[in-house]
Structure 1
Amino acid sequence: MAATGAGASGPPAETVAAAFRRVYDTLKAELLRDPCFDFNDDATQWLDSMLDYNVLGGKLNRGLAVVESYKLLKAASGTEPNEEELFLACILGWGIEWLQAYFLILDDIMGNSQTRRGKPCWYRLPKVGLIAINDGLVLRSQISRIFRRYIYGKSYYVDLVDLFNEVEFQTTSGQLLDQIATNEGRKDLSKYNIQVYCGIQDSLLFILFAAKHFLPYKVACALLLFGESLDNYGQVKRILVEMGVYFQSQDDYLDCFGEQEVIGKIGSDIEDFKCSWLFVQALERADEKQKGVLFENYGKSDPACVAIVKDLYNELDLQWVFSEYERESYENLISAIEAQPNEAVRSVLKSFLHKIYKRRK
C-alpha cells in the first residue's frame, strides 16, 4: 500500500499529534485484517485491546519526536515537509512506539513490576499473565510488516531495518549486563561504582528500554528519512548517548524522589538491587558506618529498609548532588551541541535537551 493512501491524508489544520494518532488507527486496522493470518473474532478482539493498552499507553513523545525532528531538519534546509513525508515520519515514529511497547512488556515481566504508565502492567491483568510474552513478540513482528508495507523500496529501507535490528540487539545486550550487574550486586554491593553504572548505560547505545534511551534512535530515524547517512554523525551519536546517560540518571533520581502520581509507576530500584545513579553516588560519599547501613538495607523489599536507604540518601544530600550534576550536564551538552556545524542538527539536539532538562516525570 502506498504511503499516499488513506492514512496519508488529513485536514490542513490538523495538529501533528492528531495526525500522528490517526495514523495509528490506520495501522491497527490493517494489522487486524492482515490477509496472511486468519484471525478469528476472539484473536481480533485480543489484538485490538492489546495494541491499545500497550502501544497507546504512553504520551507518544518518542514517536512524535521523529516527526518533530524531521520538521526541524526540513525547516533548517529552508523547506517544509510535504504530506507524504509527514506520513512516512509518522510511520517511523509508530515503529518506535511499537518497539517500545514490546520492550516494556518484557521488561515488566523480568522486573516483576506492578504498574506502568499509571496502570497495572499488561501481564498483571488476570486474563493475560504470561501470554504477554507472546504479545510482546507479536508487537515486534508487526513492525516488520508495517515497514514492508510502507517503506519497502525506499532508499533508506535497508538502513532502517538494520537500525531497528541493532536497537534490539543493543537493548537486549544492555539488559543482560544490567541483570548480571544486579546479580553480582546481590552478592557484593561494593562492586557497584560509576564505571559499572556508565558501562551499563553505554552498552545501550540507541535506547534503554522503559523509555530511557530513545533519544539517539529518534534522531537516526529522522536523519534517514531526510536522506542522510548515519555514518556521518559519529559526534552527534556521542552527544545523544551522553544525553541518554543524563536521562537515565534522571530516571534513577525520580524512581526514588519522584511522586508516583506524576511518574506513573512505583519506584523499586532500591528493592531490586539496581546499580542506580543514586546508589553509586551514595557509595562514593558514605563513610564506613554509612556504608554498613547501606549494605544492610539495600535490596530489601521491607518498607522500613527502603525508608532507611532514602533517609541515608537525604543525609548525604543527594538531591543537591543531583541538582549540580544536572546543571553541569546541561552546560556540557549545550557546549557540545553548539560546536556542531550543521544548523539543522543543532536545532534537533537543542529541542530534545530542552524537553528533558529538569523533567519531573
Structure 2
Amino acid sequence: MLTSILYSNCRKIKYPLLGTFRFLPNSSGKDVLSKVGIRNGSNYANRRKHIDLSVESKYLQLTLPSVMDEIIDEQLVYHRHQPNLKERYRNLLNHVLNLVDLYLSVPLFFIRSYREFENPALQIDENLKKAAILAWSIKLAEVSMIIDDDIIDKSNVRYLRPTWYKQPDVGVECAICDSSFLLSGGHILLLNHFRTHPQFSNILKEYYVNYSTCMVALCIDSKKYKVQELKLDFAKAYPITIICVICAMYFTNIVDPFIHVTAKEFLKELARYVQIEDDVKCVFNTNSEKDCTDVAEGKNSWLAIQAYERGSREQRFVLENHYGKSDNDSQIKIYQLYKELRLDDQFEVFKEDFYESMFERIQSLPKELPKQLFFDLLDYGLSGRIQS
C-alpha cells in the first residue's frame, strides 16, 4: 500500500459511490497504480480474519428439518395425492438451503444481529429458534432471487456445482416455478410464526422491498449497453447486507427511523463493496464458486467501467469492440486488458481505503447500534465471506 509520504504526492480520482483511488504519476506523466504492501499498523492490517458464528450456525441447523417439512406440507396441501412431489420439493430445499456456512452469511448475520440487539435475558433457546426460523424465511427470498439471477445470466455453476435450473429434470420452466415456491415459502413461515409480532408488518414489508429491489436491479442488469454507457446499479447487492440487520432491529422492536436510516446507509455501502468484490473475484479468482458471465453478457461490471475510465484510446477501442461478445477471442482480449491495467491491484488499494473509511464510520455510530456487530460485518465482508 502507499505510505503516508507517497499519499501526499498522489493524484486522487473519485468515482461516484466507490470512494477514492490513489495513483502515482510516472516519468511519462501517465498515472500508474502503486502497490507497496498493506500499511503497517492500519486498521485493515489488524482486522479480524475469523468471526465465530458457531452459535448462529447451530440454531440454523437445529431448525432446518422442521422448516423444510413445514414449507412442503403447507404448499402441497392440494397435491398430497402425489407423493413424488414431496420428494421433488425436498430435493429443491436441500439444494438451496442445506449449505455450508460460507453460503449462509445472510441468515447467520440475522441471528448474530438479533443476539446483539436483544436483551441477554431474553436470549433463551426458544427465542433463538424463532430467530432461526425468521432467518430461514429471509434465506428463502434470497435463494428465490438467486435462481432467477442464474437463469437470466445463463449461469451453469453456483456453489461449485450445477445451478438449479441445470439440474436433471428441472430446466428453466420448472426453475421459474420453483423460485416462486421458495419466495412464498418464506412468506408462509413469516405468517405462521410472526403474525402476532408487533412489528410483523414492518418485517414483511422489508422482506418484499428487498426482494423487489433486487428484481428491478436484475431487470436493469439484463439490458445490453454500450461499454461507454455502463453504470453500476448496486441495488442488486442490497439484500445481502441490509435485510439481516434491519429485520433483526424490527424483531427486537427497535423502530426509531433515525437509527434505521443510519444503519441502512452503512449497510448499503458495504453491499456496494461486496458487489465490486464479486465483479473482481469473478475474473481474477480461478476458484470462484460460480460462473463469470459478465464479459460475455456485457454486464454492468466495475472492472469494465474502470477499464474504460483508465484505458488509452487503443484500449477503449478493444473494449468497444469486444466487451459483451461471447466468443473466446473477445473474452481473452478483455481479460488481457484488465491485467494490463492492473485492475486487480487497483482493487486492493480500494479495498484497504474502503476498510479504513468504514472503520472510522463505525466509531461514530449512535449507541443504539452495537459497534461490534458492524465491525463483525465489515471484517466478514472484507474476508470475502459475504456471499449469495
One-letter amino acid matched to 2:65: D
How many pairs were matched up? 327
The question of whether the paired residues in 2 share the 8 Å contact of 1:31 and 1:142 is answered with: yes
**Larger relative CO (CA 8 A, sep 6+): 1 or 2?**
2
Q: Paired residue for 2:322, among 282, 297, 320?
A: 297
Shift of 1:37: 3.1
Q: Paired residue for 2:198, among 148, 155, 159?
A: 155
Q: Paired residue for 1:139, among 182, 187, 201?
A: 182
Counterpart CA distance in 2 for 1:249 and 1:30 is: 37
How does the TM-score come out when normalised to structure 1? 0.85
1:74-132 per-position Cα deviation (integer Å, ceiling 9, x unaligned): 3xx66561222211210121012111111111111111111111111111123011211
How do residues 174-193 of structure 1 correspond to structure 2 at under 5 angstroms?
A: 174-180=217-223, 183=224, 185=225, 188-192=226-230
Counterpart CA distance in 2 for 1:213 and 1:151 is: 20
Counterpart CA distance in 1 for 2:198 and 2:174 is: 37
How do residues 1-361 of structure 1 correspond to structure 2 at under 5 angstroms?
A: 15-34=55-74, 36-39=77-80, 40-57=82-99, 59-74=103-118, 79=121, 81-129=123-171, 130-180=173-223, 183=224, 185=225, 188-192=226-230, 196-197=231-232, 200-201=233-234, 204=235, 208=237, 213-229=239-255, 231-232=257-258, 233-260=260-287, 263-342=288-367, 344-359=369-384
Counterpart CA distance in 2 for 1:294 and 1:60 is: 36
Counterpart CA distance in 1 for 2:68 and 2:340 is: 50
Counterpart CA distance in 2 for 1:108 and 1:216 is: 22
1:246-289 per-position Cα deviation (integer Å, ceiling 9, x unaligned): 110000000101123xx311212111101111111111110101
Shift of 1:179: 2.1
**Number of the residue aligned with 2:26:** none
Which residues of structure 1 form unaligned runs of 5+? 1-13
Counterpart CA distance in 2 for 1:126 and 1:64 is: 30
Specify whether residues 356 and 131 from structure 1 end up closer, same or farther in structure 2 by C-alpha distance, changes over 3 A only. Answer: same
One-letter amino acid matched to 2:135: G
Specify whether residues 102 and 236 from structure 1 end up closer, same or farther in structure 2 by C-alpha distance, changes over 3 A only. Answer: same
How does the TM-score come out when normalised to structure 2? 0.80
CA RMSD of aligned residues (A): 1.9
Counterpart CA distance in 2 for 1:173 and 1:299 is: 21
Shift of 1:70: 1.3
The question of whether the paired residues in 2 share the 8 Å contact of 1:73 and 1:348 is answered with: no
The question of whether the paired residues in 2 share the 8 Å contact of 1:103 and 1:136 is answered with: yes
Partner of 1:223, secondary structure, is helix
One-letter amino acid matched to 1:189: V
Specify whether residues 132 and 57 from structure 1 end up closer, same or farther in structure 2 by C-alpha distance, changes over 3 A only. Answer: farther
Counterpart CA distance in 2 for 1:138 and 1:343 is: 37
The question of whether the paired residues in 2 share the 8 Å contact of 1:213 and 1:247 is answered with: no
Counterpart CA distance in 1 for 2:256 and 2:245 is: 10
Which residues of structure 2 form unaligned runs of 5+? 1-53
Shift of 1:44: 0.6
One-letter amino acid matched to 1:245: R
